[in-house]
Structure 1
Amino acid sequence: MNLWLVNHYAILPQQAGGTRHYTLARELVERGHQVTIIASSFDHTTRMELHIPDGAPSRLEVVDGVRFLWLRTPPYEGNSTRRLWNTVAFARKVLSLRAQDLGGRPDVVLGSSPHLFAAWAAERLARRHRVPFVLEVRDLWPRSLVDLGNFSEGHPFIRWLENIERGLYRRARHIITLLPGAGEHIAQKGGDPDRIVWIPNGIDADRLPPPEPPTPKDAFELMYAGTHGLANGLQVILEAAERLQNRPFRFRLVGDGPDKPRLVEMAARMNLTNAVFEPPVPKSQIPDLLREAGAFLMVLRDSPVFRWGVSPNKLFDYMAAARPVIFSVNTPLNPVEAAGAGVTVPAEDADALAEAAIRLLSMSPEERWRMGLRGRKYVEDNHNLNRLSSRLESVLKDALDSR
């Protein structure tokens, strides 16, 4: 099978962020398939051009047997109109791809939706080559813009995006969703329930070191490692840090994103001495970084969009590190609670977050270690991407067979 996988923000392990598609593609390659990941050369996390230094429009690179076609797109900072133009430019370049650009016609095209334009371009590409199209739903667009971005449901831009969304659901041979409860929403928007498959985010077991208990420190370290964006609601971490200013806690916020400058300024105004901001690290270095923590913070804003569940890469990295997780997300689908791997508190509640930190500190190291090991076992059993690749392979083969 020759698979073209379109994901605007796909990255390599040497970059900071999620490597879901690299891991799944590597497993498919080991099973004899050819996979080309089509992505932007402009790194979404660092806001830097990483893959085409000579100014060329594109570049083909092979990593562990996985082919990456990097497409040059315009730079941007923050959530500006230039970022919107970057997404449109990427979609236009995907539309212009020819079979000879990648050494032959695809058998299946998979389009991922960190935004709808990339998935729409992938569907058009599949239609042009007369091959099956498989849609991967990462976030529910445009619902997220309504619930998190304060757009009106009747806004012309939202209605236009919803038309694109409905069209993608109708035309996809199969719909892969990362969110465990999103099938209901997709069916309401025209997706065939029999074609919806759940393949969540997870861990790359081949690159995972064995679990080790944390080294004792003077302060109990609570770490957040991930995007500093609108949906994350990281202000609550700073508010909890302020409440624990005179206790033995240290808050580490690792990563980058459009909201980081505001958060850094906020921490300075609050005169926080127990909270530090650190730059993002490559995915390959995440396991070593996470070992330094005593516990992790999984926080999101209080929004109805999370009623269909969440599947952030960082959560499964946290649990794989065998440390307790404070889960501050209002969702009925809670992996931390299911695994018995931490403490659950309401979203955007700084008092509850601080109390959860105190509760963890009051536990014995052995109790926290057992809690962390339960999380490790849970992700090994349920979120191992090396195993989930078999589910993806079955979806792709079924799409191909039913052509």
Structure 2
Amino acid sequence: MKNVWILNHYAQEPGSFGGTRHFDLAKHLREFGWKASIIAAGTELNTGRQRLAAGENHRLDTFDGIDFLWLATPAYQGNGLGRLRNMATYAVRALGKSTAPLPPPDAVIGSSVHPLAAWAGLRLASRFNVPFFFEVRDLWPETLIDMGTLSRNHPAAIAMRMLEGRLYRGAEKIISLLPHAHRYIRRFDISEDKIAWLPNGIDLDRFPSPPPPLPAETFMLMYFGAHGGANGLDNVIAAMRLLGDQPVRLRLIGDGPSKTSLVEAAAGLANVSFEPPVPKDAIPALAAQADAFVFNLIDAPVFNYGISSNKLFDFMASGRPTLFCSSASNNPIADASGGITVQPGKPAALADAIRQLLDTPLTVRQTMGTNAREYIEKNHDFRSLARKLADILP
């Protein structure tokens, strides 16, 4: 069996909060002749939880036969210098002696949860003289530029663009989660033949077919996931305010930098509630309580390259319709006939769509939910995605 190292600074173990893409891929890769070891930071992204004890530089844990090598990284708050120090520490430790407990790799995947993690993967692949695979999750620095965090000509943006080009050119293959990332990557004079699309997915073994929704006096609209700037959840709250005394309730489950301001924006709304995040394994039971979901993004140019959202696929696997409030260049809800599409940033349009779902017969909503679930089973089962990844690897 061959060995592949996956460098993902923010990788999550099963039972924690957030996506478990690499664990789920690793679990199924074994069926196709690959043993994956995941190299991640000891500091959890969303909660700041430290997985390592004081004085530990690294630790090797195993979950369902999958090795997680945790690297000690400093705690931080916000997106300032503390987070940059956390990123740099991860890259330095990945290049040090901390990886000694792992079997030598036959391939290395560096994931661009940030560029330094992928760069460390490139360096390790060179050290072991094995192929490097660059997994593009976010477009750095394009995402930061489109979100208004950096100007296009800022020195940090220029440096990241240079590193980005180096990673594209140094990769044996570029693995993109975004279906239309080639529109961006080709500006680096990279052939589209070098780019493979491998989206996020669902481990159907851990997400059984959901029970059908039941009639209820109050329509339960649900969102779970990050409460960040890109999610634009203020648009959803504004839509709820326009609904007046309609029998609908919105549950917002999760955490993030925008949560405090969102709670303030929802002041006085009895039909909106905020709840803490739940572990990934609790998602199926939680999602079964919903009548529908709302997926919302701001209208930003970076979404012209497509999206591959964990939470959207969770919504669809739950067998409920979804209000897809986004202008992304791909639309799984429309492809699946699994809900209603709404223009982003227009609360009145979203409120009208919610009313439309309220007036939709339960049997029609059930069909939407069934369509969404079948779409996930056909296109986003992690076992099938792992087979595709095995075909990409040497």
Does the alignment reach a TM-score above 0.5?
Answer: yes
Q: State the alpha-carbon separation in 1 of the partners of residues 35 and 309 from structure 2.
A: 27
Q: State the alpha-carbon separation in 2 of the partners of residues 190 and 260 from structure 1.
A: 40
Q: Is the 8 A contact 2:177 2:197 kept in 1?
A: yes
Q: CA deviation at 1:161?
A: 0.4
Does residue 391 (structure 1) correspond to residue 392 (structure 2)? The answer is no
Q: CA deviation at 1:183?
A: 1.2
Q: State the alpha-carbon separation in 2 of the partners of residues 218 and 34 from structure 1.
A: 50
Partner of 1:88: 88
* 1:48 counterpart SS class: coil
State how 1:159-238 maps to structure 2 within 5 Å. 159-238=158-237
Unaligned runs of 5+ in 1: 398-403
Q: Is the 8 A contact 1:170 1:192 kept in 2?
A: no
* 1:298 counterpart SS class: strand
Q: State the alpha-carbon separation in 2 of the partners of residues 81 and 221 from structure 1.
A: 40
Q: Is the 8 A contact 2:58 2:69 kept in 1?
A: yes
Q: Is the 8 A contact 2:71 2:98 kept in 1?
A: no
Q: State the alpha-carbon separation in 2 of the partners of residues 280 and 150 from structure 1.
A: 26
Q: Is the 8 A contact 1:326 1:345 kept in 2?
A: yes
State how 1:288-303 maps to structure 2 within 5 Å. 288-303=285-300
Partner of 1:400: none
Q: State the alpha-carbon separation in 2 of the partners of residues 53 and 276 from structure 1.
A: 35
Paired residue type of 1:173:
E
Paired residue type of 1:232:
N
Paired residue type of 2:336:
A
Partner of 1:5: 6
Q: State the alpha-carbon separation in 1 of the partners of residues 121 and 239 from structure 2.
A: 43
* 2:205 counterpart SS class: helix
Q: State the alpha-carbon separation in 2 of the partners of residues 60 and 48 from structure 1.
A: 17
Q: Is the 8 A contact 1:166 1:191 kept in 2?
A: no
Q: Is the 8 A contact 1:29 1:65 kept in 2?
A: no
Q: CA deviation at 1:54?
A: 4.7
Q: Is the 8 A contact 2:43 2:72 kept in 1?
A: yes
Paired residue type of 1:140:
L
Q: State the alpha-carbon separation in 2 of the partners of residues 76 and 154 from structure 1.
A: 27
Q: Is the 8 A contact 2:46 2:256 kept in 1?
A: yes
Paired residue type of 1:388:
L
Give the TM-score, by structure 2 length. Answer: 0.97
Give % identity.
46
Q: Is the 8 A contact 1:60 1:70 kept in 2?
A: yes
Q: 2:317 aligns with which of 311, 315, 320?
A: 320
Does residue 75 (structure 1) correspond to residue 72 (structure 2)? The answer is no
Gap change, CA 1:60 and 1:150, over 3 Å in 2: closer
Q: State the alpha-carbon separation in 2 of the partners of residues 227 and 98 from structure 1.
A: 31
Deviations 1:342-378 (A, max 9, x none): 0001111111111111000101111100000000000
Q: CA deviation at 1:103?
A: 3.9
Q: State the alpha-carbon separation in 2 of the partners of residues 28 and 97 from structure 1.
A: 26
Q: CA deviation at 1:216?
A: 3.0
Question: Which is worse superposed, 328-337 or 363-372?
Answer: 328-337
Paired residue type of 2:350:
L
Give the TM-score, by structure 1 length. Answer: 0.95
Partner of 1:286: 283
Q: State the alpha-carbon separation in 2 of the partners of residues 105 and 192 from structure 1.
A: 30
Q: CA deviation at 1:150?
A: 4.4
Partner of 2:246: 247
Q: State the alpha-carbon separation in 2 of the partners of residues 372 and 325 from structure 1.
A: 8
Q: State the alpha-carbon separation in 2 of the partners of residues 348 and 301 from structure 1.
A: 6
Partner of 1:27: 28
Aligned length: 393
* 1:102 counterpart SS class: coil
Q: CA deviation at 1:151?
A: 2.2
* 1:355 counterpart SS class: helix
Q: Is the 8 A contact 1:169 1:190 kept in 2?
A: no
Runs of 4+ in 1 over 6 A off after TM superposition: none
Gap change, CA 1:80 and 1:262, over 3 Å in 2: farther
Q: CA deviation at 1:133?
A: 0.4
Paired residue type of 1:320:
A
Q: CA deviation at 1:394?
A: 0.8
Q: State the alpha-carbon separation in 2 of the partners of residues 88 and 277 from structure 1.
A: 34
Q: Is the 8 A contact 2:57 2:98 kept in 1?
A: no
Q: Is the 8 A contact 1:52 1:70 kept in 2?
A: yes
Q: CA deviation at 1:215?
A: 3.1
Q: Let me know the Cα RMSD of the aligned residues.
A: 1.3
Partner of 1:401: none
Q: CA deviation at 1:42?
A: 1.1
Deviations 1:235-275 (A, max 9, x none): 1111011111311111111111111122112222xx11111
Paired residue type of 1:45:
N
Deviations 1:327-347 (A, max 9, x none): 011123111001100000111
Paired residue type of 1:392:
L
Q: Is the 8 A contact 2:226 2:255 kept in 1?
A: yes
Q: State the alpha-carbon separation in 2 of the partners of residues 98 and 357 from structure 1.
A: 51
Q: State the alpha-carbon separation in 1 of the partners of residues 98 and 353 from structure 2.
A: 54
Partner of 2:132: 133
Q: State the alpha-carbon separation in 2 of the partners of residues 79 and 295 from structure 1.
A: 33
Question: Which is worse superposed, 73-82 or 250-259?
Answer: 73-82
Q: State the alpha-carbon separation in 1 of the partners of residues 155 and 54 from structure 2.
A: 40
